[in-house]
Amino acid sequence: MTDKIPDTIKNEIEKLVQELNDHCYRYYVLDSPLVSDEEYDRMYFHLKHLEEKHHYVLPDSPTQRVGAPPLEKFEKVKHTEPMLSLDNAFTQENLVEFDKRIKKILKSDQDIEYTVEPKYDGLAIELTYRRGLLYKASTRGDGYQGEEVTRNIRTIKSVPIKISDDGNMSDEIDIRGEVYMDIRDFEQLNKDREEKGEPVFANPRNAAAGSVRQLDSSITASRKLHLACYGIGSVKGFEFKTQGEFMQWLKKARFPVPTVIETVTGIKQVIQVIREIEENRKGYSFETDGSVVKVNSFDLQKQLGMKTREPRWAIAYKFTAHQGITKILDIQGSVGRTGVITPFAVFAPVKIGGVTVSRSTLHNWDEIERKDIHIGDTVIVERAGDVIPHVLAVIKDKRTGKEKCFPVPEHCPVCGAKVVREVGEVAARCIGLNCPAQVQEKIFHFASRGALDIEGLGEKTVELLFSQGLVHNFVDLFRLRKEALLNLPRFAEKSAQNLIDAIEKSKHTTLARFLYALGILHIGEYASRLLAKNFGKLGDLYHVKPEELLQIRQAGEKTAHTVSEFFNDEKNLNALDELQKLGVQITNPDFQGKEEGRKPFDGLTFVITGILPKPRNEIEEMIRRLGGHTASSVSKKTDYVLVGEDPGSKAGQAKNLHVKTLAYDELLEMIAQYRGKDRLF
C-alpha 299/C-alpha 240 separation (Å) is 10
C-alpha 663/C-alpha 462 separation (Å) is 46
Q: Residue 617: which of 75, 74, 78, 127 has the closest Cα? A: 78
For 475-487, give the secondary structure using H, E and C: HHHHHCCHHHHCC
Q: Residue 233: which of 81, 103, 383, 6 has the closest Cα? A: 81
C-alpha 676/C-alpha 471 separation (Å) is 53
- Residue 635, C-beta contacts closer than 8 angstroms, at least 6 positions apart: 657
Q: Are 201 and 136 in contact (CB under 8 A)?
A: no
Cβ neighbours of 183 (radius 10 Å): 14
- Residue 19, C-beta contacts closer than 8 angstroms, at least 6 positions apart: 43
Q: Residue 85: which of 362, 382, 299, 312 has the closest Cα? A: 312
Q: Residue 512: which of 590, 454, 405 has the closest Cα? A: 590
Q: What SS3 class is residue 412?
A: coil
Q: Residue 23: which of 50, 49, 51, 42 has the closest Cα? A: 42
Q: Which residues pair with 95 in a beta bridge?
A: none
Distance of CA 503 to the CA centre of its chain: 31
Q: Are 503 and 478 in contact (CB under 8 A)?
A: yes
Does 119 qualify as catalytic in the annotation?
yes
Q: Residue 95: which of 296, 319, 256 has the closest Cα? A: 319
**Number of helices followed by number of strands (H, E) in the chain:** 23, 24
Rounded to whole angstroms, the maximal C-alpha distance in the chain is: 90
52 class by beta-carbon count within 10 Å (0-12 exposed, 13-18 middle, 19+ buried): exposed
Per-residue CA distances from 544 to 106, 354, 540, 569, 665 (Å): 47, 55, 8, 11, 42
Q: What SS3 class is residue 258?
A: coil
Q: Which letter does DSSP use for residue 242 in this model?
A: B
Q: Residue 128: which of 230, 228, 21, 233 has the closest Cα? A: 233
- Name the residue type at position 323: Q
Among residues 10, 48, 76, 119, which one is catalytic?
A: 119
- Residue 335, C-beta contacts closer than 8 angstroms, at least 6 positions apart: 341, 342, 412, 413, 414, 430, 435, 437, 438
Cβ neighbours of 531 (radius 10 Å): 26
**Cα radius of gyration rounded to whole Å, the chain:** 28
For 265, phi then psi, to 5°, come to: -115, 125
Strand 322-335 and strand 340-352: pairing? antiparallel
C-alpha 235/C-alpha 467 separation (Å) is 49
C-alpha 614/C-alpha 620 separation (Å) is 10
- Name the residue type at position 190: N
- Name the residue type at position 288: T
C-alpha 241/C-alpha 298 separation (Å) is 6
- Our CA angle for 411, 417, 421, nearest 5°, is 60
Active site residues: 119
